[in-house]
């Protein structure tokens, strides 16, 4: 798992370039938001069970076929797995928020996800929708905590949604 500093230095090293002003500005922005990132992650972590539970409620209200017989969240076992997966997505999003780098999402979350979901017949659309709902709820919690300068909250959630949406099922 790389943070933004390590990722930037690695990219410049691979291309045998000196770090330029654009890179320095990018690092300065990342470092300036460090305390804010930790506060945002703290708010999300403190509210994680509620975010997952409420996002699942909204998802199943929007897409009730998921919890009806034949749906991917039908039966107690499958419903619990849906909640577990939503918790994973939220947790890994906080890792990416903290590091300012989405590589952890690729390495630890998305790498085998496509194959696993395809083999189990889990649709990507509802999964992407649940992540969108969690993003919205996380942002609401962050604003409610008095943190208004946290535009970076969208980044990991949008990245996961984009990756799932680009998957050919």
Chunked in runs of 10, what are the mean pLDDT values of the chain (169 residues)?
Answer: 83 92 90 92 98 97 95 93 95 95 92 86 92 97 93 95 74
Q: Are 30 and 100 in contact (CB under 8 A)?
A: yes
Q: What was the pLDDT predicted at 112?
A: 85
Q: What is the pTM of this model?
A: 0.88
Where exactly are the structural domains of the chain? Answer: 1-32, 34-165
CA 58, CA 55: separation in Å to the nearest integer? Answer: 5
Q: Give the count of beta carbons closer than 10 Å to the beta carbon of residue 131.
A: 23
Q: Which residues contact 126 (CB under 8 A, 6 or more apart)?
A: 59, 63, 66, 72
User: What is the homologous superfamily of the domain 34-165 according to CATH?
Assistant: Phycocyanins (1.10.490.20)
Contact present, 107 and 1 (Cβ < 8 Å): yes
Q: Round to the nearest angstrom and report the end-to-end CA distance of the chain.
A: 28
pLDDT at 154: 96
């Amino acid at each position: 798992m790389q943070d933004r500093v390590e990722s930037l230095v690695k990219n410049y090293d691979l291309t045998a370039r000196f770090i330029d002003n654009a890179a320095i500005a990018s690092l300065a922005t990342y470092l300036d938001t460090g305390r804010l990132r930790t506060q945002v992650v703290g708010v999300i972590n403190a509210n994680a069970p509620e975010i997952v539970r409420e996002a699942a409620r909204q998802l199943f209200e929007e897409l009730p076929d998921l919890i009806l017989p034949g749906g991917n969240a039908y039966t107690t076992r499958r419903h619990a797995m849906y909640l577990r997966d939503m918790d994973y997505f939220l947790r890994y999003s906080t890792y990416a928020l903290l590091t300012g780098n989405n590589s952890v999402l690729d390495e630890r979350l998305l790498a085998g996800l496509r194959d696993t979901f395809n083999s189990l017949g889990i649709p990507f659309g509802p999964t992407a929708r649940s992540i969108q709902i969690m993003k919205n709820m996380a942002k609401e919690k962050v604003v409610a905590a008095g943190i208004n300068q946290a535009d970076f909250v969208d980044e990991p959630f949008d990245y996961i949604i984009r990756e799932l949406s680009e998957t050919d099922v």
